Structure 1
Amino acid sequence: MIKNFFKNIGPGPLVAAAFIGPGTVTLCTIAGANFGYALLWAMVLSIVATIVLQEMAARLGVISQKGLSQVIREEIRNPLLRNFAIILVISAIVVGNAAYEAGNISGGVLGLQTLLGNTYVDILGFRLEIMALLIGLCAFILLYIGNYKILERVLVGLVIFMSLAFVTTAIITKPNIVEVFKGAFIPSTPSESILTVIGLIGTTVVPYNLFLHASLAKTKWKQKSDLSFARKDTIIAVILGGLVSMCIIISASAIQDQSINNATDLAKGLEPLFGSYAKYFLSIGLFAAGITSAITAPLAAAFVASGCLGWEYNLKSTKFRVVWIFILALGVIFASVGFKSIEVIKFAQVANGLLLPVIAGFLLWVMNKTEVLGKYKNSLIQNILGFVVVLIAIFLGVKGIMSVFNMI
C-alpha cells in the first residue's frame, strides 16, 4: 500500500515546488518579521483556494488528456477571443516566467552565499556569479534529459529536502502553539498589512501552476480510474506546501525586526538567537526553493507555448526545448551579472494579475462542459468554491495591478 502511494506521488509536489520559490520565501519572511503570526490565516485561505483550482486543473488533465493551454485553443470558438486569450497567456506565462527566472536562480544563489560567502569571479571585465551558472547547468541537464520520471523524482526529493529544512527552522524557534493556531484561524489585518495579505495569496494561487499541473497530470496518469490518485496527490502536496510557507512565517516571527527584508537577513538574524543550525537549515531551504522554481518555471512556459501554438507535447521535442532553454538562459544571464529588469518584471506582474481571474474563470467554465469532462464535470459544491476563488482572483488581480502603478 505504501509502495503504491509513493508510486502515485507526482505532479502535486512539482506544483508545490513551483509556488514555494524565493519570492514566496521572501514574502513569508517579511510577513512574519513585520506582523508575527497574525497573517497565518492568509496562508490557510491560500491553501484552500489553491486546492480548489489545482484539483480542477489535475482533473482536466487526467480526464481530457489535454493541457489547459490546448483546451483554451480548442474550446474558445470565437477567433478574436481565442487569439486574445493566446496572446495574454503567452505574454503572462512565457514572458513572465522569463522575468521571474532570474529571481529563482538568484534565490538559490542567496541560500548558498549565506553558507559559502560570495562566489563572484571577474571574467573579461564582467563580474559573474559562479553559483548562478552551476544552478542553471543543473536545471539544464535535468530538463534536457527529457525523462518525466527522473525530473519528478529529483523535484520530489528537493521538495522533501526543502520542507524538512524550513520545518526544522520553525521548530528550532520554539513557537507559541496557541498563538500560531490563533493566527491561522482567526483573520486579522494589522495596520499596513493588506498588501502583504494580497501578496501571500497571490504567490500561492499562481496562474502558471494551473497550466503546469494539467500538463503534468496527463503525462503522469492515463486512465480515468487514476483520478483518485491525482486528487490525493494534489491535496497532500498543496497542504504540505502551504505548511512550509507557514513555517517560514513562524520562523521569521521569532525576530520582530522591521529590517528583515529577505531570507538571508532572517538566516543571519536567527543565528545569534538559536545558533548556527538555524542559519544552515534556512539557507538550505532557500537554495532548494530557488533551484526547484528554476526548473519548474521554464517547464511550465514550454508546456504553455506548446499548447497555445499547437505543438507536440513532448519533453524531447526541439520546439519544446527551445522555449525552456530560452527562459533558462535569460535567467542565468541576468542572475549571473546581477541584472534585474524592473520594467519587464512589472509587465509580468500586470499580465499575471490580468491572467489569474481570466484563467480561473475559463477553468470554471470548461469544468462544466459535458463534452470535455463527461460525468467528471464540476459538482454544485465545486462550482460554488470555484466561483468564490474567481472573485478572490479578481480582487487580487485588481489590487496587484494597482500596486504596480502605485495607486494603492
Structure 2
Amino acid sequence: MTSTHSLEKKAAAPTTRLGRLAKIVGPGIIAVLSWLGAGDLITSSVAGANYGYAMMWVLAVSLLLRFLIVNIIARFQLCNNQGMTILQGYAQLHPFFAWFMLGYALIMGHLTNAYMIKGAGEALATLLHIDYPLLASFAVVLGVWLLVGRNIYSLIEGVMKGLLALMTLAFMALAIMSKPDVGGILAGTIGFSIPPDEGVHGALLVAVSVIGAVAGSIANFVHPYVMRQKGWVGPEHKRIQRNDLLFAVFVGIIINLAIWVVGAEILRPNGIEVKTLDDLGAALQMFFGTGGWLIFFVGVFATLFASIAGKTTAFPMLITDAFQHIRPERREKYGKEFHHDPMHKWFMLFILVTPLVWSLPGMPDFVTLTIGVNALNIIGLPVISLGLLIMSNQKKLLGNYRNNWFENIALGFATILAVWVAFQLGTQLLA
C-alpha cells in the first residue's frame, strides 16, 4: 500500500525544476504566513519607527531561535521511533505538559486570532470606506469559517503562496527605495542594547514583543501539523523539511527586515508613530500615492485573512491532540485524524468566534493589542524550550537524531533569555 502510494506521488510530481520547487515549499509557506500575520508586521514597524536600528539584534536572535526551535520540533516528529506528534512528545515527559499545552494553546489561539481578526476587520472597513470595523470583523470570521470548514488545503496553500509573494515584493521595493543605512543595521545587529523609551510603547516591551512574536510564538507549532497534512511523516522527509524551513525562515528574514527598514527610514524621519494601520499605510502612500495605499491595505487584509485561516486550521489540531492525550479514550474512539473528534470543531469555533469580543468598541486598539499579546508569548517560552531540550535528547526515541551541542546551547539560552526578559518586564511594570 505504501509503495503504491509513493509511486502515485512520483508519477504526479512536476517535471520542471520550478514546478518541483513550488510543490515542496508548501508547509514552509503556510508556516511563514502564519508567523508573519500582524505580529511581525506591527512589532517590526514599531521597533523601527520608535528606535531605528538600535534593537535589530533582538530580531536577529529571535529569527535564529525560531529556526532552531521549529527545526528541532519538526525533526522530533519526523524521526522519533514511536510515531509521536510533537504534543505527544511533550506529554510523555510528564502529564503537566499536556495540560499546559491544552490551556496555553487555547488562550494564545484566542488572543492571537483576536488581534488578527481586529486588524483584518479594520483593513476591510478602510478598503470599503465604511465606519463599521466590527461588522467587517464578523465578515472576516464568516469568510474564514466557510474556507476552513472544508477540505481545501491545496487552495489555502496556493492562495498563501501568492499573498506571500505580493507582500514580500511590496515591502522589499519600499525598503530598497528608502535607501537603508547598512552600517546602522550592522551596528544594531551586534549592539545588544536596550535604548531609552520613546513613544507610547517602551523599548523593553517592544523587545519582548519581538521575541514573543518570532521565537516564542505558539504558532511555531503550526509547522509539524501542516507537515503531517502534506504527508511528511518519517526520517526520509527530514532533508526536504529542513530545506523547506530554511526557505520559510529566509523569506521571514526578508519580510521582517523590509518592514523594519520602512519603520526606521520612512516612518521615524517623518515623525510617524505606529498607532494604527493608517500610520503604517502612510509609508507606502508617501512613495506610491493612492496606489501604494491600496496595495498596503489589500496586502494587509489578505495576509491577515490567510493567517487567520492558517491558525484556525492548525491550532485546533494541537488543542485536540492535547485533549486526546488527557482523554486517551477519545483517540481510541475517533482514531488519529483529529477532525473526526467532534471536539475538534468546537475548538475551531472557540479559536475563531470568541476573539470577536476584542473587536467591540472600547477594547484596546489594534497596535496595543498586537504588542501586548506577542509579549505574553514569552511566558510560555521557558516551558516550551526546556521541555524541547529534554525530549530532543532522548536516545531511546531519537537515536542518532538527537540534538547537537549547538542546539542544546541555543535551547538553554532561549530558556534563560525568556526568564530574564519576563523578570525585567515584570519588574518594570511593578515599579
Change (3 A) 1:56 1:292: same
3-state DSSP of counterpart to 2:387:
helix
Distance change >3 Å, CA 370–CA 340, structure 1 → 2: farther
| 1:67 aligns with one of 85, 107, 113 | 85
Report the equivalent of 2:337.
Answer: 314
Structure 2 Cα separation of the partners of residues 175 and 224 of structure 1: 42
* Separation (CA, whole Å) in 1 of partners of 2:311 and 2:425: 20
1:109 counterpart residue number: 121
Question: What's 1:152 paired with?
Answer: 157
Q: C-alpha distance in 1, partners of 2:158/2:343?
A: 24
Residues 137, 158 of structure 1: alpha-carbon distance in 2 compared, 3 angstrom cutoff: farther
Question: Any stretches of 5+ residues in structure 2 without a counterpart?
Answer: 1-16, 198-202, 325-330
Distance in 1 of aligned mates of 2:362 and 2:27? 32
- The structure 1 residue matched to 2:206, chosen from 157, 180, 196, is 196
**Counterpart in the other structure of 2:169:** 164
Aligned-residue sequence identity (percent) comes to 22
SS in 2 for 1:283: helix
Cα deviation, 1:85-140, whole Å, max 9, x if unaligned, reads 333222221122112322101112233344332252xxxxxxx7333233222321
Tell me which residue corresponds to 1:124. Answer: none
What amino acid is aligned across from residue 264 of structure 1 in structure 2?
D
Cα–Cα, structure 1 residues 166 and 400, in superposed 2: closer, same or farther, change >3 Å? Answer: farther
The structural deviation recorded for 1:42 is 1.8
- CA separation of 1:212 and 1:341: change in aligned 2, threshold 3 A: same
In structure 2, what is the equivalent of residue 215 of structure 1? 225
8 Å Cα contact 2:194/2:204 also seen in 1? yes
Which among 309, 320, 323 is matched to residue 347 of structure 2? 323
Residue 389 of structure 1 is matched in structure 2 by 414
State the shift of 1:251 in Å.
Answer: 0.9
The corresponding residue for 2:27 is 11
Amino acid of the residue matched to residue 233 of structure 2?
K
**Greater displacement, 86-95 / 150-159:** 150-159
8 A contact 2:212–2:377 mirrored in 1: no
Contact map agreement 1:102 1:331 (CA 8 A) in 2: yes
Deviation at 1:223, TM superposition (A): 3.2
Q: CA deviation at 1:309?
A: 1.8
Amino acid at match of 2:355: G
RMSD between aligned residues: 2.9
Query: Structure 1 CA distance, aligned partners of 2:245 and 2:127?
Result: 33
> What's the offset of the Cα at 1:200?
1.2
| 1:18 partner letter | S
| CA distance 1:247–1:111, change in 2 (3 Å) | farther
- 2: CA distance between counterparts of 1:340 and 1:374? 50
1:375 to 392, 400, 421: 400
Cα distance in 1, alignment partners of residues 122 and 372 from structure 2: 25
2:215 paired with 1:205: yes
CA contact (8 A) 2:213 2:377 kept: no
Name the counterpart of 1:286. 300
Instruction: Indicate the residue corresponding to 2:289 in structure 1.
Output: 275
Number of positions where the alignment pairs a residue of Structure 1 with one of Structure 2 = 391
1:378 positional shift: 1.1
2: CA distance, partners of 1:153 / 1:226: 21
CA deviation profile, 1:214-266 (whole Å, cap 9, x unmatched): 22223320231110110111122022113212211111221222643233212
CA distance in 2: counterparts of 1:168 and 1:139, whole angstroms: 30
Return the alpha-carbon distance in structure 2 between the equivalents of residues 351 and 175 of structure 1. 31
Do the aligned partners of 1:349 and 1:400 also contact (CA within 8 Å) in 2?
A: no
**Distance change (3 Å), C-alpha of 1:204 and 1:53:** same
Which one-letter code corresponds to 1:176 in the other structure?
Answer: D
**Superposition pairs of residues 9-408 of structure 1, within 5 angstroms:** 9-64=25-80, 65-76=83-94, 82=95, 84-120=96-132, 129-192=134-197, 193-220=203-230, 221-253=232-264, 254-256=266-268, 257=271, 259-268=273-282, 270-272=284-286, 275-310=289-324, 311=331, 312-314=335-337, 316-317=339-340, 318-332=342-356, 334-335=358-359, 337-338=360-361, 340=363, 352-399=377-424, 406-407=429-430
Separation in 2 of the partners of 1:195 and 1:305? Answer: 28
Q: Tell me which amino acid in the other structure corresponds to 1:322.
A: W
Deviation at 1:401, TM superposition (A): 5.0
Deviation at 1:315, TM superposition (A): 5.6
- One-letter amino acid of the counterpart of residue 370, structure 1: K
The whole-number CA distance in structure 2 between the counterparts of 1:347 and 1:70 is: 30
CA pair 291-396 structure 1, distance change in 2 beyond 3 A: farther
Q: 1:48 to 1:292 in 2, by over 3 A?
A: same
1:194 offset after TM fit, Å? Answer: 2.9
| Cα distance, 1:273 vs structure 2 | 5.5
* In 1, Cα distance between equivalents of 2:362 and 2:240: 42
CA distance in 1, matches of 2:181, 2:126: 27
Letter of the 1:166 partner, please give it. F
Per mean C-alpha deviation after superposition, the further-off stretch among 373-382 and 164-173 is: 164-173
Per the TM alignment, residue 267 of structure 1 is displaced from its structure 2 partner at its CA by 1.2
